[in-house]
Amino acid sequence: MHRLFLLGSAVALLAVVGCSSGKFTTRGTVLKDGAPIKIGQDEMLRVMLVPMPEDGSNPKDYYVAEFRPEDSTFRVKGKDGQGMPPGKYRVALELLQGRKDLFGGAFGPENSPHVVTIQSASDQITVDVGRAAKKG
């Protein structure tokens, strides 16, 4: 019985520690001039994390976030729901009203000034579209 308990404990420990996928659910907030961004009734904010490969090649895919307009936060669970791999990402944003991007492409997948490095599940992303627009 004692051996069975030890074996069960070892399996549980491996499941928690050793069998990690190496991916993270990434979280963040979108601000405008330091305050949570407000989205109109007929608008939708799309947040995407675009991998920036070290070799400079084009990314093969994007990670689309779930945006919560109530508190201006987002979460990226990855393609398989297990998260996204660590690395360098461009944070692309589109504020859509119908098919029109109200940001005018200023925060697109190729040119957004918001670049982050994700290294752990505790990394938080803060994107301020008002301050970035004034810089550029």
**pLDDT (0 to 100) of residue 60:** 81
- Looking at the domain assignment, is residue 6 inside a domain? no
- Looking at the domain assignment, is residue 13 inside a domain? no
Specify which residues 93 forms β-bridges with: 47
CA distance 112 to 91: 7
User: For the chain, what is the domain count?
Assistant: 1
Domain of residue 130: give its range.
Answer: 22-135
**pLDDT (0 to 100) of residue 56:** 80
H/E segment holding residue 11: helix 2-13
* 17: pLDDT strictly greater than 60: no
Mean pLDDT calculated for residue range 96-125: 94
- Looking at the domain assignment, is residue 86 inside a domain? yes
Dihedral (Cα; 126, 106, 34, 43), 10-degree rounding: -90
**pLDDT (0 to 100) of residue 121:** 85
- Looking at the domain assignment, is residue 93 inside a domain? yes
CATH number at residue 35: 2.60.40.1120
- Looking at the domain assignment, is residue 26 inside a domain? yes
pLDDT digits (tens, 9 = 90+) for 41-95: 999 999 999 999 888 888 888 999 999 999 999 999 988 888 899 999 999 999 9
- Looking at the domain assignment, is residue 7 inside a domain? no
* 11: pLDDT strictly greater than 70: no
Mean pLDDT calculated for residue range 33-44: 95
pLDDT band at 136 (very low <50, low <70, confident <90, very high): very low
- Looking at the domain assignment, is residue 40 inside a domain? yes
| Ordered alpha helix ranges (H), the chain | 2-13, 129-135
- Looking at the domain assignment, is residue 131 inside a domain? yes
Type of residue numbered 107: F
